[in-house]
């Protein structure tokens, strides 16, 4: 057998169309999330449900993601890339249609959960495909391209959603997403290739059950804590049950010969360090995403469209910087990019802790844009630096682990910061009422109570940003320990087989 024949052992594919299919699908997934955040208040009114109930449209989405992500490594080993991509995009499209026609909360929730089933598989799959199809030396640039889709959606989403909510019904948001989702399916049929190794691993059903209860319980508990408080029996029971199941799940993974979630990825020091940094940064990121819209719309009275426009320049800059950061990463590594980026993020997060009722719109735009500039130097480089240390056979497991922990960090960050804001604002309001001798239950004091409540809410938001600043500083200190490790060039099974055939010829 000659060398030319041996090369057929390695799959051939055109990278351009394949990348286009992945990026469009990723963009649709992230756009779907950013559109929802602004639409929830109107959906709450139209569907006749309260704030705690409507939150399930995001909490439920997060729960399904949290359950499916640990399964993603098994699914990528069991099914071909094309099969998984098509299943994910078709599920997402079906869920979008159900949401679009839904006139009842239950129907819309079912649609959201089906969307989440598609997105939960799609995001880890996208990461692993990019790690596989690009040379190791260009991984930073490749992950930067992926970052464009992840970041451009938040640039468009809030503004588009704000405009639609002001002029049309929220159903239109899902009909805007549907053509893009169907385009993803079409591109998958035409261009997606099976670029990952497949086998027939056995699924450990006990691990699946434990991971579902563990991750689902913890995510549910953290999500509900933001509205019900940490002392709620529902929150406490969910977190305890989830934690016990998670401990059993982790023990099961350590003793299993074919684990569902491969804990051995933590033997690689840089993967472990960068994963911790990524988790901390994700928690800090949610400070502005959650708290700023509350400040803009509830305190300052800005419309959803004005709020979205304020966030747009920062998201656009982050999208522009993402591929540039990737190119710089390939040349100098992650350490100084991440250090500088986190320093900028810490300073600008601290600036948000000085918000007042007179903070100008221009000042808010500048600080938020600078914060996003800092974040653009952190998110992709820190994740890529850790994955680079893993051998190809562990890419799927590393990606699954990273995405699982980031999902939990997002839920924890949201619950933690919202709870800090709410409790601090409540205590501050009580202090202000007492110090000024105001009875909040007296109708004559309605105007004064409203103003003091606003002041207390701003105080709570500022305090939450102080906490977010120190979270960012913790990540900054850890970033100094990042080092440029030797890239792990251990071949995948497909590459090893190709090399063996070549040697035998």
Q: Encoding tokens for residue 456?
A: 């207390």
Q: What percent of the chain has pLDDT over 90?
A: 16
Same domain, 231 and 198: no
Same domain, 433 and 339: yes
Q: What is the pLDDT of residues 274-302, one digit of tens each?
A: 999 988 888 887 667 777 877 887 788 88
pTM: 0.75
Same domain, 153 and 227: no
Q: What is the pLDDT of residues 299-346, one digit of tens each?
A: 888 877 777 788 778 877 877 887 788 788 878 878 899 999 999 999
**Which element (helix H / strand E) includes 321?**
helix 304-332
Same domain, 154 and 231: no
Same domain, 113 and 27: yes
Q: What is the pLDDT of residues 216-236, one digit of tens each?
A: 888 778 767 766 777 788 888
> Which residue, 259, 292, 324, sits at the end of a domain?
259
Domain assignment of residue 131, given as a range:
3-203+260-504
Burial of 182-205, coded b for 16+ CB within 10 Å and e otherwise, reads bbbbebbeebbbebbbeeeeeebe
Same domain, 227 and 313: no
Rounded to 5, what percent of the chain is helix, strand, coil? Answer: 85, 0, 15
Same domain, 404 and 334: yes
Same domain, 164 and 265: yes
Same domain, 223 and 300: no
Residue 40 belongs to a domain with what CATH number? 1.20.1250.20
> Which residue, 214, 233, 259, sits at the end of a domain?
259
From 81, 80, 86, 79, select the one nearest 185 (Cα to Cα): 86
Same domain, 111 and 211: no
How many domains does one find in the chain?
2
* Residue 93 main-chain phi, psi, to 5 deg: -65, -40
Q: What is the pLDDT of residues 398-407, one digit of tens each?
A: 877 887 787 7
3-state secondary structure 235-260: HHHHHHHHHHHHHHHHHHHHHCCCCC
Residue 78 and residue 200 in contact, taking contact as beta carbons nearer than 8 Å = yes
Same domain, 166 and 210: no
From 175, 33, 26, 146, select the one nearest 89 (Cα to Cα): 26
Q: What is the pLDDT of residues 51-97, one digit of tens each?
A: 667 767 877 777 787 777 777 777 877 888 888 899 999 999 999 99
Give yes or no for residue 369 having a pLDDT over 80: yes
pLDDT of residue 155: 66
Same domain, 399 and 250: no
pLDDT of residue 478: 93
Q: What is the pLDDT of residues 36-52, one digit of tens each?
A: 767 777 788 888 876 66
Greater model confidence, 395 or 454: 454
> Which residue, 259, 278, 302, sits at the end of a domain?
259
pLDDT of residue 167: 82
Contacts for 178-182 with beta carbons within 8 Å, 24 or more apart? 178/93, 178/96, 178/97, 178/100, 180/24, 180/27, 180/28, 180/31, 181/28, 181/89, 181/92, 181/93, 181/96, 182/93
Residues in the chain: 505
């Amino acid at each position: 057998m000659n060398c030319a024949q041996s090369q057929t052992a390695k799959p051939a594919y055109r990278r351009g169309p394949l990348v286009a299919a992945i990026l469009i699908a990723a963009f649709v997934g992230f756009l779907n999330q950013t559109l929802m955040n602004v639409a929830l208040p109107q959906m709450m009114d139209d569907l006749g449900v309260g704030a705690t109930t409507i939150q399930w449209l995001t909490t439920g989405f997060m729960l399904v993601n949290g359950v499916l992500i640990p399964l993603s490594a098994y699914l990528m080993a069991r099914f071909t890339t094309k099969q998984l991509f098509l299943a994910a995009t078709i599920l997402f499209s079906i869920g979008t249609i159900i949401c679009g026609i839904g006139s009842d909360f239950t129907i819309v929730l079912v649609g959201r959960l089906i969307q989440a089933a598609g997105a939960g598989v799609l995001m880890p799959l996208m990461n692993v495909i990019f790690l596989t199809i690009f040379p190791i030396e260009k991984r930073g640039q490749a992950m930067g391209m992926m970052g464009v889709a992840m970041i451009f959606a938040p640039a468009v989403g809030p503004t588009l959603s704000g405009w639609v909510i002001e002029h049309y019904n929220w159903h239109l948001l899902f009909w805007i997403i549907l053509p893009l989702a169907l385009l993803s399916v079409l591109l998958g049929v035409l261009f997606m290739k099976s670029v990952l190794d497949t086998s027939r691993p056995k699924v450990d059903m006990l691990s699946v059950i434990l991971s579902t209860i563990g991750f689902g319980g913890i995510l549910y508990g953290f999500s509900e804590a933001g509205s019900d408080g940490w002392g709620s029996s529902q929150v406490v029971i969910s977190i305890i049950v989830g934690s016990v199941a998670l401990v059993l799940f982790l023990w099961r993974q350590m003793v299993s010969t074919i684990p569902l979630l491969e804990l051995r990825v933590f033997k690689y020091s840089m993967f472990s360090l960068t994963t911790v940094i990524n988790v901390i940064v994700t928690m800090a990121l949610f400070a502005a995403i959650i708290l700023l819209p509350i400040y803009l719309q509830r305190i300052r009275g800005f419309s959803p469209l004005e709020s979205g426009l304020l966030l747009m320049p920062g998201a656009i800059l982050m999208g522009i910087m993402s591929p540039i950061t990737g190119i710089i990463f390939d040349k100098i590594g992650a350490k100084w990019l991440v250090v500088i980026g986190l320093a900028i993020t810490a300073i600008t997060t601290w600036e948000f802790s000085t918000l007042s009722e007179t903070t100008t719109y221009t000042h808010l735009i500048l600080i938020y844009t600078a914060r996003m500039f800092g974040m653009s130097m952190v998110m992709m480089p820190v994740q890529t630096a850790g994955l680079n240390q893993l051998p190809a056979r562990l890419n799927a497991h590393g990606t699954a682990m990273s995405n699982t922990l980031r999902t939990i960090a997002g839920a924890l960050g949201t619950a933690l910061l919202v709870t800090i804001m709410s409790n601090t604002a409540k205590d501050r309001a009580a202090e202000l009422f007492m110090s000024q001798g105001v009875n909040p239950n007296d109708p004559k004091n309605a105007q004064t109570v409203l103003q003091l409540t606003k002041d207390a809410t701003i105080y709570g938001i500022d305090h939450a940003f102080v906490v977010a600043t120190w979270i960012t500083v913790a990540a900054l200190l850890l970033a100094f320990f990042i080092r440029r490790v030797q890239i792990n060039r251990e071949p995948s099974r497909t590459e090893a087989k190709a090399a063996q055939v070549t040697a035998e010829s």
